[in-house]
Every structure is written in C-alpha cells, then in structure tokens.
Amino acid sequence: MLSSVERAAATRKTLAKYRTLPFDWSKRATCIHLARYHLRNMGHRPPAIPDFRSALGAKRALEKTGFADMAALLDSLLPSIAPASAWVGDLAVLEGGEGFDSIVIHAGGKWLGYHMDDLGGLKPLVVTEIKGAWRA
C-alpha cells in the first residue's frame, strides 16, 4: 500500500494529465480511461480497456466484460470502502449521464471528475450521493 505522500503524488500525476483534457469518447478521454490511468499510477495492474469510440460502444464493451455497471467492475478490482473514509486517490462512482455512472477521484476534501455541464476537463464536483467508493 502506498504512503499518503505517494498517494498524493500519484493523484497529482493523474490530475496533471486529465485536468484540462476534454471528455471525448473518440479520443479515449473518459472516466474509465481516467480511472485506469490513475490505478496504474497507484501501483495497480488493471485490465486493458476494450476499444470504443462512442457511448454505444462503451455500453457494448461493458456488457462484454460481464459486469452490470461501473460499480461492479470496480468491485472486482478494489476493496469497497465507506465514502466518508476516502483517502486522497480513492475512487467513487456517482450517477452520470448517457446511461452511465461516472468515476471520480478523491483529492483531499473534494471529488474530481468530468461534469456533464462542462466537459473541458476535470472539475471539483458537488457530490450529494455516492453510489460506492473503493480504496485505490
């Protein structure tokens, strides 16, 4: 397990790449790509992401994995935690758009992720309901 200093450094590396990277299905700039990149920075070896370039393609790719949703996929990779006990670098799932949940990263008192109203990069989110959280 990474120290708090290492977790913060790995999270900063992820945020440096995605902070201004616009959400784009066709360019592989989605929350699942964000999560995979972040997990690799945190020392995990997540499986490859099937190639998809649209919301429909992403739905098909998720179905092929055999998981019902993003939470089930994360359950297969990481230990579940109570959202209130999240550390810097942990992941959570929020209700998202286009029939998908959204994966976000804990960044010390706030959750960062793509927001449907401004897909120009990661934003601090006002979180009212977390569907699940995982120790990264």
* pTM of the shown model: 0.94
Q: List the structure tokens of 51.
A: 């190639």
- Strand order from edge to edge, sheet including 80-81: 80-81, 132-134, 91-95, 101-106, 111-115, 118-125
Tell me what the mean pLDDT of segment 18-23 comes to. 95
Q: List the structure tokens of 16.
A: 């440096």
DSSP, res 60: H
Per residue in 67-116, pLDDT (tens digit) is 989 999 999 999 999 999 999 999 999 988 777 899 999 998 899 999 88
Please name each of the domains of the chain with its CATH number: 4-134 (3.90.1720.10)
